[in-house]
DNA sequence: TACTCGATTTAGGTATGCCTAAATATTAGG
DNA sequence: CCTAATATTTAGGCATACCTAAATCGAGTA
């Protein structure tokens, strides 16, 4: 029964799989080349190349039809969740154990996630008490890949004034993360939408404070919320 | 004064520099291609290629004359010491903070050393209290690259019975490391040489114990000692 | 001094993963 | 339903870092 060995998964392949996952390319939805190109900071041509490779590998990591987007196969999704788990555990570790400033954990985790062993993962998870959320409020996939469904919504989808709980903050832009930190905007905090400037941001207040904060559109786009 | 930027140092280049340092290619001594090839598990041809590259980079990382070996330039030595510091700090961290078994720290550190930031280094050094030695007994270079001179000798150079203190254990072979661990051979322990089997190993005893342990030549070669 | 053998270098080739420019497919508007 | 604008793919290149096979060098010995 000479089962041929699964071909190795490179660091780059991992990055692509994780990006597809985060952009929603599991559960039937498809992701476009352009969206991937933007997220990964490479040209669309490079995306096409890699998608062909991911589709051709054994087992196939994605389902891909040219000009019609990609989505993860079950093997691809499994792998992407492993990488995401690594990433978020490392972020939590850097924040909790090594006292990193929140806006620095992402870049470091982004590099390290490809190189830590299963043992490293196991040890930091144990040290942290098997956390369910990273410091940005994002859910950490379990070892078996299970992850509760995310019921949060984007602040930028809000059309009416109201009160919410901050669910999570996107970690990709350190600058925004720092801006939000100094304004007290972090997961779990209550956020009241006071005014909406169509496509130009929001006026909000935090907790029980009456102070009004102006958030740019870019800042607002990094915030996910839950209705109270 | 458009100073041209120093060209980037790749992960591979770091590996070569570190290998040259450890094989003694600082302080005037030269290292042969073959020795490097053996240590890095690549062919001699690959070594030649990389040495040419290291010699041609700005600033030059090594001095290299074909057929006559290499040695580190001051820039190369500085860099190699940085990488070695990373490596040994990470080993110490894995052992002390994450409770790794000693025989597993090397391989993990070998991968991670290339990817941690200055911040990561600074934080783990602080957390560990700026240690001077790694768990194998090797000296950790200071931030400025200074490192006390190593006055230890190889157990395999011992020709007469006598008593010594174990200085350090080579970390490159996990199997040997584990064998030595279960026999109680670790840095700081007293080791008595009882019998010498020319090129076939040693009979030793540990601490105040009378029990005689047989060490193979390979096991012995991993041990460095200090006269008492 | 010349020869031989081991050490080293050169030449040429592989794979990854990125790029640009040119070609082509899809989609939305008229 | 056709066309323009946009999205995507193809083709051809570059750099890194490794390999093998075929030269070539150099140190010790006859």
Domains by residue range for chain A, with CATH: 1-146 (1.10.10.10), 153-227 (2.30.30.90)
DSSP state of A172: S
Residue B219 has pLDDT above 50, yes or no: yes
Residue A2 has pLDDT above 50, yes or no: no
Q: How far apart are CA A29 and CA A51, in angstroms?
A: 16
CB B214 within 8 A of CB B201: yes
Q: How far apart are CA A189 and CA A205, in angstroms?
A: 11
Residue A52 beta carbon within 7 A of nucleic strand D: yes
Task: Residue B115: list chain A partners with CB under 8 A.
Answer: 111-112, 115
Across the beta sheet with B223-227, what order do the strands follow?
A: B153-154, B223-227, B162-169, B190-197, B201-206, B213-215
Nucleotide nearest to B51 (CA to C1'): C9
Nearest to A115 among B98, B112, B124 (CB): B112
Q: Examine residue B139 and say whether the peptide bond preceding it is cis (omega within 30 degrees of 0).
A: no
Q: How far apart are CA A82 and CA A143, in angstroms?
A: 7
Interface of B with A in 75-104 (CB under 8 A): 94, 97-100, 104
Query: Does B110 lie at the interface with A, CB-CB under 8 angstroms?
Result: no
Protein B154 CA to nucleic acid D29 C1', in Å? 33
Question: What is the per-residue pLDDT for B5?
Answer: 57
Task: Residue A112: list chain B partners with CB under 8 A.
Answer: 112, 115-116
Please give the ipTM for the structure prediction.
0.88
- pLDDT tens for A128-161 read 999 999 999 999 999 999 998 889 999 999 999 9
CA B60 to chain centre: 23
Q: Average pLDDT, stretch B72-85?
A: 96
Nearest-by-CA chain A residue for B98: A123
Nucleotide nearest to A14 (CA to C1'): C17
- At residue A90, what are phi and psi to the nearest 5 degrees? -65, -45
């Amino acid at each position: 029964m000479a089962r041929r060995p699964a071909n190795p998964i490179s660091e780059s392949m991992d990055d692509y799989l994780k990006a597809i996952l985060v952009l929603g390319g599991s559960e039937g939805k498809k992701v476009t080349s352009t969206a991937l190109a933007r997220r990964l900071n490479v040209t669309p041509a490079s995306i096409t190349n890699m998608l062909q490779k991911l589709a051709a590998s054994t087992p196939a990591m994605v389902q891909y039809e040219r000009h019609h987007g990609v989505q993860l196969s079950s093997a691809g999704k499994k792998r992407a969740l492993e990488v995401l788990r690594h990433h978020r555990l490392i972020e939590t570790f850097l924040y909790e154990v090594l006292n990193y400033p929140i806006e620095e954990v992402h870049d470091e985790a982004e590099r390290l996630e490809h190189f830590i062993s299963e043992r490293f993962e196991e040890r930091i998870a144990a040290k942290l008490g098997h956390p369910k959320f990273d410091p940005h409020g994002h859910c950490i996939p379990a070892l078996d890949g299970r992850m509760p469904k995310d019921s949060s919504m984007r602040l930028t989808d809000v059309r009416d004034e109201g009160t919410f709980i901050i669910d999570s903050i996107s970690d990709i832009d350190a600058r925004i993360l720092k801006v939000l930190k100094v304004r007290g905007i972090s997961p779990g905090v209550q956020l009241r939408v006071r005014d909406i400037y169509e496509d130009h941001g929001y006026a909000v207040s935090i907790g029980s404070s009456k102070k009004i904060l102006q958030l740019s559109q870019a800042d607002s786009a990094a915030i996910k919320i839950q209705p109270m």
